Amino acid sequence: MPARPSSSPSVNSDELRRRKRILKKLNAAYPQVGCTLDHFNPFQLLIATILSAQCTDKRVNEVTPGLFKRFKTPDDFLRAGIPEIEDAIRSTGFYHNKAKNIYALCKRLKEDFHSEVPCTIDELVNLPGVGRKTANVVLGNAFGIVEGIVVDTHVGRISRKLGLTEATDPEKVERDLVSFVPKKEWVDFSHRLITHGRQICRARRPLCGQCPLASDCPSAEK
């Protein structure tokens, strides 16, 4: 199901201007953004996104070249079995669960989708181990289909700091964001906040003194 509009009360014109300024400054600060998980097709991106849970993209990118050389199709993962998948992805953490999900995912892809990754959000979110965030990552970055805004921990945390949402539930955060971010910017907006979270608005010690959004941020540390 595509992202629904926000259930939050509508914002006044000053607040709308502030939000537009934030978008403009983010675009200026991070003009070139993109998916930081290395991949060559939707299947690889789907697997890489599952591996990225509780793990850095950098670590995932260290693991996936070898992984995808060994396992090119859902059948390759199925033939190997869960213990072998676990061995191959161990360093990404939570490997028992991830391997179980990857195996179940490959089985569903083989049985129901001719071993291809489906390209609708409703089909994607029904695959084992695939939530709305993963589905949006795959749709936006592998298929160029924009259905919503990816809300990971950086996007949720920084959106709250910036006063763009009060919600903690990712789906509610997404609804608040899609109410004012133009649809053509949904994919890049998410990449920009993630980059901002890595470089400036870090969870432990945000670098507010270097932040281009500070004058519009209610959480800016003086």
Give CA separation, 199 vs 61, 118, 146, in Å.
19, 34, 26
Nearer to ligand SF4, 70 or 202 (CB): 202
Nearer to ligand SF4, 55 or 220 (CB): 220
Q: Does residue number 213 form part of the binding site for ligand SF4 (CB under 6 A)?
A: yes
Q: Does residue number 23 form part of the binding site for ligand SF4 (CB under 6 A)?
A: no
132/1 Cα distance (integer angstroms) = 10
Q: Are 161 and 143 in contact (CB under 8 A)?
A: no
Q: Measured in whole angstroms, how far is the alpha carbon of residue 37 from the centre of its chain?
A: 10
Q: Does residue number 117 form part of the binding site for ligand SF4 (CB under 6 A)?
A: no
Interacting residue with ligand SF4 among 23, 29, 104, 214 (CB under 6 A): 214
Interacting residue with ligand SF4 among 173, 181, 193, 200 (CB under 6 A): 200
Tokens found for residue 117: 């990754």
Q: CB of residue 20 vs ligand SF4: minimum separation in angstroms?
A: 16
Nearer to ligand SF4, 98 or 196 (CB): 196
Q: Hey, how many other C-beta atoms are within 10 angstroms of the C-beta on 34? A: 10
Nearer to ligand SF4, 1 or 207 (CB): 207
156/140 Cα distance (integer angstroms) = 18
137/134 Cα distance (integer angstroms) = 5
Q: CB of residue 208 vs ligand SF4: minimum separation in angstroms?
A: 3
Give the number of residues in contact with ligand SF4, rule: CB under 6 A.
14
Q: What is the secondary structure of 154-203 as a DSSP string? A: HHHHHHHHTTS----SHHHHHHHHHTTS-GGGHHHHHHHHHHHHHHTS-S
**Is there a catalytic annotation at residue 176?**
no
User: Which range binds ligand SF4 by CB under 6 A, 8-16, 64-72, 185-193, 203-211?
Assistant: 203-211
Q: Write each residue from 135 to 174 as x if it is in contact with ligand SF4 (CB under 6 A), else as -, in one continuous string.
A: -----------------------x--xx------------
Task: Please identify every residue annotated as catalytic.
Answer: 133, 152
